[in-house]
Amino acid sequence: MKRSSVIAVILGGGRGTRLFPLTDHRSKPAVPVGGKYRLVDIPISNCLNSDIRRIYVLTQFNSASLNRHIKNTYNFDAFSSGFVDILAAEQTPDSTDWFQGTADAVRQSVHHMENHEHDHVLILSGDQLYQMDYSKMLQRHKEKDADLTVATIPVNASDATGFGIMKTNANGVIEDFVEKPSTDELDKWKSEVPEPYKKQDKDYLASMGIYIFNREMLKKLFDDNPDATDFGKELIPKCVEGGKKVVSYEYGGYWTDIGTIQSFFEANLALADTVPDFNLYDNDNFIYTRARLLPASKLMGTTLEHALMAEGCIIEASRIVRSVVGIRSRIGKGSTVEYSIIMGNDYFQDRDVIENAGPEKPAMGIGRRCYISNCIIDKNVCIGNDVRIVGGNHLEDGDHKYHYVRDGIVIVKKNTVIPDGTII
């Protein structure tokens, strides 16, 4: 694959309301994942591992932390033509609006890509967890002489209503496409899928939101449909109905869409499994992120059961069970953390601040004798001693003084201070 033949575009999304309150101070691609990474690291790493080194990230909401992360992480040397650039929504003579959808975001950004030679545009989502070699997808795109290739994955009926679902012929050409079909019409959208997926009742071929367009075809598509704002709802069906050659690239690996608190929670905890489906321990397919040069984590008398621990932590907890503990986390003596995501801290707190902490103004991290279960504790949270936070299905969704509840998961927002003895 010629490096100059493709440009990647990562869609940062809008306000990320389904991931609130994690997106209250940051954009979706900047949300921490796996203890030390951010969501945007996943598609960027996939690009780099696929030898794609010209990457745009499109964003328009709370982009400051994302800008910092990309600036501090992805720097190419002077002898490389590679880059990872942020393109924020901007007013131009042709448009005074914010991005109105996935297609509109790319349309408004195309003029930046015209400065670089390319034949194909690879469009990716910024909120998915998977490892994929895009060069294989591009190879199939060329072999099939396709105008557009859509990455697809089999899903079951309960998930199918949330995706674009398609039907293909024997050559893998997409002949019919529907965006988020209703439950009543699902039966007619079943496809022939490999046997392992059939056994899991995954009979529907879903779009992964990953596309390869021929450059000229994409430009013409925008010119012919100036009011279309979304790929899935509008432009892909128009391509299929208009006789364009739209091909399915069936992906058989692990993939999950992190669009909700529930999916984010489950995907993170799965990383603590002995052999997780998403492999962080790969000699070839690295997941890149900012090199923080942190010291090794320190544990004192803690029992660990399926715990993922990042660098720079000081852990005196009595027990940590199936949890992800992020960078610079501090957990005090006698505390228990189970089925939780502790995102950690942005900096180390000064020793004198920790020593002078009091019941109403605890030190950063989790204090002594606390019990944390089914929680997401965002960054820089100060939890005092003898605090009990227990999530579960018994809780109703809601917004409260110190926390939020979504699908039974308790989320403590960034920079929150919880005094000694609080029970949630």
User: Three-state secondary structure along 264-306?
Assistant: HHHHHHHCCCCCCCCCCCCCCCCCCCCCCCCCCCEECCCEEEE
Q: Are residues 172 and 48 in the same domain?
A: yes
Cβ-based neighbours of 47, under 8 Å, separated by 6 or more:
8, 53, 55, 122, 124, 134
Q: Are residues 253 and 305 in the same domain?
A: no
> pTM to 2 decimals?
0.92
Six-digit token pair at 139? 């190879």
Burial class (CB in 10 A: 0-12, 13-18, 19+), 360: exposed
C-alpha dist (Å) from residue 316 to 91, 307, 319, 340? 51, 14, 9, 17
Count Cα atoms within 13 angstroms, Cβ side, for 324: 24
Query: pLDDT of 322-361, one tens digit each?
Result: 999 999 999 999 999 999 999 999 999 998 888 888 888 8
Q: Output the domain CATH number for residue 345.
A: 2.160.10.10
Q: Output the domain CATH number for residue 54.
A: 3.90.550.10
Q: Are residues 138 and 64 in the same domain?
A: yes
Q: Alpha-carbon distance 390 to 409, whole Å?
A: 9
Domain count, the chain: 2
Cβ-based neighbours of 32, under 8 Å, separated by 6 or more:
38, 326, 343, 344, 379
**What rounded mean pLDDT belongs to the chain?**
90
Q: Are residues 29 and 161 in the same domain?
A: yes
Q: CB under 8 Å, gap of 24 or more: what pairs does 213-218 form?
A: 213/120, 213/121, 213/123, 213/147, 213/148, 214/119, 214/120, 214/146, 214/147, 214/148, 215/118, 215/119, 215/120, 215/121, 217/147, 217/148, 217/244, 218/106, 218/110, 218/121
User: Does residue 48 belong to any structural domain of this protein?
Assistant: yes
pLDDT at residue 3, rounded to an integer = 47
Lowest mean pLDDT among 150-159, 312-321, 408-417: 150-159
Where among 270, 286, 317 does a domain terminate? 270
pLDDT at residue 2, rounded to an integer = 44
At residue 15 the predicted structure's pLDDT band, cuts being 50, 70 and 90, is low
Cβ atoms of residues 308 and 324 within 8 Å: yes
Helix (H, G, I), strand (E, B) or coil at 240: helix
The residue-averaged pLDDT of 184-212 equals 87
Query: Percentage of residues in the chain with pLDDT exceeding 70?
Result: 95
Cβ-based neighbours of 141, under 8 Å, separated by 6 or more:
120, 149, 212, 247, 249
User: Does residue 293 belong to any structural domain of this protein?
Assistant: no
**Above 90 in pLDDT, residue 43?**
yes
Q: Are residues 245 and 143 in the same domain?
A: yes
Q: Alpha-carbon distance 393 to 321, whole Å?
A: 19
